[in-house]
């Protein structure tokens, strides 16, 4: 049986060629980057509160694309990765909240299959008996690993959990875990809604018209937007937004607040965490956006919503 290969909304936004990959690797050898900057972390996490909380909506940044979201009495985790290494590269900063300090998890949202967004060694250590929400094509991977409580989503599919609505929305990216499964599972972001809050977790994405489509459909309060792994832009632009494109995408979504993510944990491209943050803040000031609309979180920081 022929396997389905998933595509982006813009069919021309496909994978780079091996020749382009080799060109990037050659360019990378000539670059010298300062990796001494450490993303700030809170001195003390709110672990005791997070363990007990089932009433106050919160967002806690653990690092990279991993957030603990507490909404409508549920503990929701996005793209859980506590790995100390990614391939040959050591993690640049430790997770803001140790995995042992998490409360029991009810729902795990997976944006796509890449190792910096889906870590088997991490998800098997989670407390509780979570349900995994995964892109279509990835459900069998979870079942083979012994996670029977898995729901697959195609773009715009919705799921109701009591007073919570979760929707899988488009992104511009790709998927791969092995040499033979390129784009055999989908990719996307997640919109999480209850009666008082709407949170948009973008996942991984290049800039595309889908940001405006998502902004047309939802009144978004908090947009969790990637800003890293964009250099060199001639190679990365179709799959990762630059800080400037992240701001443009945020404006398209008409969200109230942007929380930057996908920087500071792993060296996936040639940019550094400091460069990503500096460019983000420069673009914010250039566009004269209100400072209160940008929430740059510390690792382990918890924001109480509402």
The Cα 145–Cα 24 span in angstroms is 34
DSSP string, 140-156: HHHHHTT---EEEE-TT
Higher pLDDT, 28 or 276: 276
pLDDT at 88: 82
Q: Where are the domains of the chain?
A: 38-304
Provide the 10 A C-beta neighbour count for residue 36. 8
> Tens digits of per-residue pLDDT, 122-138?
999 999 999 999 999 99
Q: Which of 20-29, 166-175, 185-194 is least confident?
A: 20-29
- The structure's pTM equals 0.97
Give percent of the chain with pLDDT exceeding 90. 88
| 135: its two tokens | 């892109």
CA angle 238, 34, 287 (to 5 degrees): 50
Q: Which of 60, 85, 253, 231 is nearest to 169 (CA)?
A: 253
pLDDT at 305: 93
Higher pLDDT, 276 or 87: 276
Within the chain, how many helices (H) and strands (E) appear? 8, 15
pLDDT at 1: 52
The topology (CATH level 3) of 38-304 is Metallo-beta-lactamase; Chain A (3.60.15)
Q: Name the pLDDT band for 260 (thresholds 50, 70, 90).
A: very high
pLDDT at 231: 96
Bond prior to 232 in cis (omega within 30° of 0) = yes
Q: Are strands 222-226 and 198-201 parallel, antiparallel or unpaired?
A: parallel
pLDDT at 299: 98
pLDDT of 2 over the 80 cut: no
Q: Name the pLDDT band for 14 (thresholds 50, 70, 90).
A: confident
């Amino acid at each position: 049986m022929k396997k389905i290969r998933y595509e982006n909304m813009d069919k021309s936004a496909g994978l780079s060629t091996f020749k382009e990959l080799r060109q990037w690797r050659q360019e990378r050898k000539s670059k010298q980057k300062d990796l001494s900057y450490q993303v700030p972390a809170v001195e003390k996490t709110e672990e005791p509160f997070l363990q007990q909380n089932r009433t106050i909506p919160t967002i806690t940044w653990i690092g990279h694309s991993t957030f603990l979201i507490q909404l409508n009495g549920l503990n929701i985790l996005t793209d859980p990765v506590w790995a100390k290494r990614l391939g040959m590269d050591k993690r640049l900063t430790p997770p803001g909240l140790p995995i042992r300090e998490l409360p029991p998890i009810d729902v795990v949202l997976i944006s796509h299959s890449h190792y910096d967004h889906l870590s088997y060694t991490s998800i098997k250590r989670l407390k509780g008996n979570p349900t995994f929400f995964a892109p279509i094509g990835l459900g069998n991977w979870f079942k083979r690993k012994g996670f029977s409580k898995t729901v697959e989503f195609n773009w715009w599919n919705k799921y109701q959990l009591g007073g919570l609505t979760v929707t899988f929305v488009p992104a511009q990216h790709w998927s791969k875990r092995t040499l033979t499964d390129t784009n055999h599972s989908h990719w996307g972001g997640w919109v999480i809604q209850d009666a008082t809050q709407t949170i948009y977790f973008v996942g991984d994405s290049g800039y595309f018209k889908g940001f405006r489509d998502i902004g047309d459909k939802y009144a978004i309060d908090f947009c969790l937007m990637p800003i890293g792994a964009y250099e060199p832009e001639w190679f990365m632009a179709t799959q990762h937004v630059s800080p400037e494109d992240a701001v443009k995408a945020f404006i398209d979504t008409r969200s109230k607040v942007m929380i930057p993510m996908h920087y500071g944990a792993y060296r996936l491209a040639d940019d550094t965490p400091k460069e990503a943050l500096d460019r983000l803040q420069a673009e914010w000031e250039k566009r004269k956006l209100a400072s209160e609309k940008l929430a740059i979180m510390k690792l382990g920081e918890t924001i109480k919503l509402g």
